[in-house]
Structure 1
Amino acid sequence: MRIVIIGAYGLIGSYVSARLAADGHRTVGVGRDVEAARRRFPALEWKRADLATASVADWVAVLAGAEAVVNCAGALQDSPRDDLKAVHVEGLRRLAEACEAAGVRRLVHISAAGVGPGRSTAFNATKLEAEALLARSPLDWIILRPGLVFAPAAYGGTALLRGLAGFPGASPVVFGDSLVQTIGAEDLAVAVASCLAPDAPRRVSLDLVHGEALTLIDLVGRLRGWLGLRPVPTLRLPLLLARATAAVSDALAWLGWRSPMRTAALEQLRMGVRGQAEDAARLGLVPRSFDALLAAAPSGVQERWFARTYFAKPAILACLFAFWLLSGLIGLTVGLQDAIAILTAAGMDARLAAGAVIGGSLVDIALALLLIWRPTAARALQGMMLVTAGYLLAAALLRPDMWLDPMGPLLKSIPAAFLALAALATLDER
């Protein structure tokens, strides 16, 4: 069967794609940015399309020859990169119309457990509207509502849980008593595969969760044990601090950083993640428990590295931003004359020295500003390493005596460059 998978390189989509390909289906992956996806998943045929903007005609072209569609695309919160209404509702409406036009009857749509009336988030409202839209469609649709999806790969909310589990000294949590039901990514992929069978149920919405509901504190504690780390006390964070962190994360989202600590995620945690465990039997599926999922994917050193560096990564980026921004501002203000004097003492013309100091300070500020804009962060980190190397080389030629300065201004630049290297190495989100 030729199957089009939308959002095929996301956390859920990647496991669905792997399962369907292993089952012998001809799989077509669809996403906004497929260059890296082609390298990661060479067995799939890849086509570029954005659910938020693609027209019905665009989708008809993508669906040519397809017999089924699996929609794994979604977003958590509005941002410059994501428009919930466009992705969850309008995009799905155009996709459904294209399925009708292209003669594709089977549409499997991934929603979320707990979606329903009375939940205040835009995520919930748009997911609920999408489900209502499909219910009016003449297609042979099926809606799957997974709980908290746990996978060997770390991304989004489960990545945050690993970071909390790896936090030193204590496990910080908010809404620690909220109840969460889980589903394994591989079990979810098996469910999707079952939805494509000729005798699969049609025009139904099914929750996919294990029956055991765990508190957030319990989830973090079990993850910490899975990582092989000693137990630590739970630190219940004040709600005010959690909301302040979410507000900062919301602001950073407008700079391209899609943190799982945004307001929508916080609200989802407050409400919990619950579903009807018996629904999985409709697909012949018995979801594994959270403990069974952990036992089936033993942690290694890479999981411990990830958990321990999860919160170190934003701290490193913030430190680099402050270092380069302040360096540039100081160079343009209180440190301007001193910096010029250092260069003129080496025999450089005063005007040339002033230009070098001012130009270097502006470069420092530019690198700091490029760092906080997510699309240019990698280039900024590379630039920081190159500029540091340039500074050190120039100093070695013009003022080699500064290497012996007791304050160590040149020596201290070397750790800063390696800090940029560490940030660059951990910059990928998935």
Structure 2
Amino acid sequence: MKALVLGGYGLIGAACLRALRKAGFSVTGLGRDAEAAQKVAPDDDWIIRDITKLSVDDWRRLTAEMDVVVNASGALQDGARDSLQAIHITAVERLVSALNGKPVRLVHISAVGASETAGLDFFATKGRGDAAIRQSSADWVILRPALVIGPEAYGGTALLRAAAAMPLVTPHLFPRIAIQTVFLDDVAQAVVQAATGRIPAGTLADLTEPRGRPLPDTIAMMRRWLGFPEPLATLPVPRPLLTLLAKGADALGHLGWRSPLRTNALAALADGIEGDPEPWQQAGDHSCRSFDETLAAMPATVQERWFARLYLLFPLGVGLLSLFWALSGAIGLVQLDAAAAVLTESGMAQGPARIAVLAGSVADIGLGFAILWRPWVGAACLGMVLVSLAYLAGGSLATPDLWADPLGPFVKVLPSISLALFVAAIAKDR
């Protein structure tokens, strides 16, 4: 049997790829990022297309020889790279139109809480996509996972790890809201069951553990799983601060950053993540594991602890590099004559000295802003390293005495290079 997995390099999509391949399917992934696809599953077949741009005829061609289509694509919030309307509704409507009347099983991954009348646009658009499928004549199964926990860390699961890794303190927020989770492997196995026809057509079921717990308890369990010591204190997080963080994360979303602190993510947590496990217990051949059982099934290693701590430090590193380079360039422009005088005192003519300072300042400011655009982070960091090395080389020739300057203007460039290399090394989120 042949299966096409949409969003095949995402957290759930990649797990579905592996599980379907293990179950004997010939699997093809579909996504818009060729680099991410090759990193996640280099030996699988891939179709590199943007699902939001595929027409009904495109879908007919892509699914012509498929027995199963698994839709694991999705987005949390509108941003520079994502449109909820296009991903959750338009693409689904076109896909369903292409599958109507065809003997192809559609396994659609939705979300607990999806509803056309939901107040949050994430759940509302998911609900409208689900409705389009339910009203069609396609052979469909809709699965709605709760908060998915797996060995891979992305989005909400990465945020949980980071919150659990905070040194000395632990955040205390939404203490009265219940959170239910589901193990990633349970989601993947449910998809295999649906793909092989063991789940009746027309099944709509939540995938969730039997009972939830408050978010602080979930974070505490994650902290123990990571092996970090008990916190010395809890840190209450006021709602106004959360709102401010969410607005800032929303703004960064327009620069391509998919922060799990965006408004939709925090609003979903504030409303609670709760589903009904009963329909799946009746339809499937296994219940979803509890959070305790999930953590026991994937022992934490040093990689987990490194990731949790680095996830906290990464945005700090990006912010510091942006501030350092943009301010450095701005100061050079504001104090152009003083900066040029350092070069003229070493024998450089006034004109070339001013040009050198101007060029350096513009480059500094450009790199300081470029690193804020998510797709350019790695390239901007490497640009910072190259400009820093050129600065050290040129400065050593023109003003070698600055190596012995008490304020260490050359020596201080070395930590900046190290920070840029560190950020570049962990910039990829797939």
Is the TM-score greater than 0.5?
yes
SS at match of 1:285: coil
The aligned counterpart of 1:135 is: 134
The separation in 2 between residues aligned to 1:35 and 1:56, in whole angstroms, is 26
The 5 A counterparts of 1:235-250 are 235-250=235-250
Q: Which residue matches 1:317?
A: 318
Shift of 1:429: 1.3
Structure 2 residue 85 is matched with structure 1 residue 85:
yes
**AA matched with 1:283:** G
2:115 match: 116
1:8 maps to 8
- After superposing the two structures, state which structure 1 stretch, 351-360 or 92-101, moved more: 92-101
Does residue 1:394 correspond to 2:394, yes or no?
A: yes
Match of 2:38 in 1: 38
Any unmatched runs of 5+ in structure 1?
none
Partner of 2:190: 191
User: Counterpart in 2 of 1:213?
Assistant: 212
Q: What is the distance in 2 between the residues matched to 1:241 and 1:372? A: 22
Paired residues for 1:154-193 under 5 Å: 154-193=153-192
Cα distance in 1 between the residues matched to 2:104 and 2:369 = 49
State the secondary structure of the residue aligned to 2:108. strand
* In structure 1, C-alpha distance between the alignment counterparts of 2:121 and 2:419, rounded to whole Å: 38
Separation of aligned partners in 2, 1:198 and 1:218 = 38
Cα distance in 2 for residues equivalent to 1:223 and 1:371: 32
Structure 2: distance between partners of 1:197 and 1:32: 27
Deviation at 1:350, TM superposition (A): 0.8
Work out whether residues 174 and 242 of structure 1, in 8 Å CA contact, stay in contact via their aligned partners in 2.
no
For residue 43 of structure 1, report the CA deviation from its aligned partner: 3.1
| CA-CA distance at 1:199 after TM superposition | 3.9
User: Which structure 2 residues correspond to residues 374-389 of structure 1 after superposition, within 5 A?
Assistant: 374-389=374-389
1:104 is displaced (CA, Å) by 4.0
Aligned to 1:60: 60
Matches within 5 A, 1:368-379: 368-379=368-379
Distance 1:427 1:199, change over 3 A: closer
1:39 shift after superposition: 4.2
- Cα distance change on mapping 1:176 and 1:422 into 2, 3 Å: farther
Instruction: Write the letter of the residue equivalent to 2:326.
Output: L
Report the secondary structure of 2:107's partner residue. Answer: strand
Q: What does the per-residue CA deviation read over 1:31-64, in whole Å, with 9 as the maximum and x for residues that have no partner?
A: 1112331243133211022222211111122112
Alignment: residue pair count = 428
Say which is worse superposed, 228-237 or 30-39, in terms of deviation: 30-39
Q: Which residue of 1 aligns with 2:125?
A: 126
Instruction: State the distance in 1 between where 2:146 and 2:197 align.
Output: 26
- Which letter does structure 2 place at the counterpart of 1:217? P
Indicate conservation of the 8 Å contact 2:103/2:139, yes or no. Answer: no
User: Which residue is 1:327 aligned to?
Assistant: 328
Q: Distance in 1 between matches of 2:104 and 2:16?
A: 19
Indicate how the Cα distance of structure 1 residues 245 and 130 shifts in structure 2: closer, same or farther if over 3 A, else same: same
Partner SS state of residue 324, structure 1: helix
**Mapped contact 2:15–2:188 kept (Cα < 8 A):** yes
Secondary structure of residue in 1 paired with 2:90? helix
Render the CA deviation track for 1:336-378: whole Å, top value 9, x for unaligned: 2221111111111110001001110000001111111112121
Instruction: Show the counterpart of 1:354.
Output: 354
Q: Is the 8 A contact 1:51 1:92 kept in 2?
A: no
1:75, 1:262 → 2: CA distance? 12
Quote how far apart the aligned CAs of 1:173 are. Answer: 3.8
What displacement does 1:177 show? 2.7
Q: In structure 2, what is the equivalent of residue 283 of structure 1?
A: 284
Residue segments in structure 2 that go unaligned for 5+ positions in a row? none
- Counterpart CA distance in 1 for 2:78 and 2:156 is 17
For residues 285 and 319 of structure 1, the distance between their equivalents in structure 2, rounded to whole angstroms, comes to 48
- What is the deviation of 1:10? 0.2
Q: Aligned partners of 1:154, 1:198: CA distance in 2, in Å?
A: 30
1:212 is paired with a residue whose SS is: coil
Identity over aligned residues, as a percent? Answer: 42
Counterpart CA distance in 1 for 2:420 and 2:143 is 42
Q: After superposition, give the CA deviation of every residue in 1:265-310 in whole Å (9 maximum; x if it has no partner).
A: 0110011111111222211122111111111111111111111121
Supply the distance in 2 between the matched residues of 1:39 and 1:98 (Cα, whole angstroms): 30
Note if contact 2:96-2:132 (Cα within 8 Å) is conserved in structure 1: no
Query: TM-score if structure 2 supplies the norm length?
Result: 0.97
Question: What is the DSSP-based 3-state SS (H/G/I as helix, E as strand, rest coil) of the residue aligned with 1:310?
Answer: helix
SS state at 1:298 partner: coil
> What is the CA-CA distance between 1:234 and the residue it aligns to?
2.3
Whole-angstrom CA distance in 2 between matches of 1:315 and 1:260:
15
Residues 179, 213 of structure 2: 8 Å contact kept? yes
**CA drift at 1:403:** 0.3
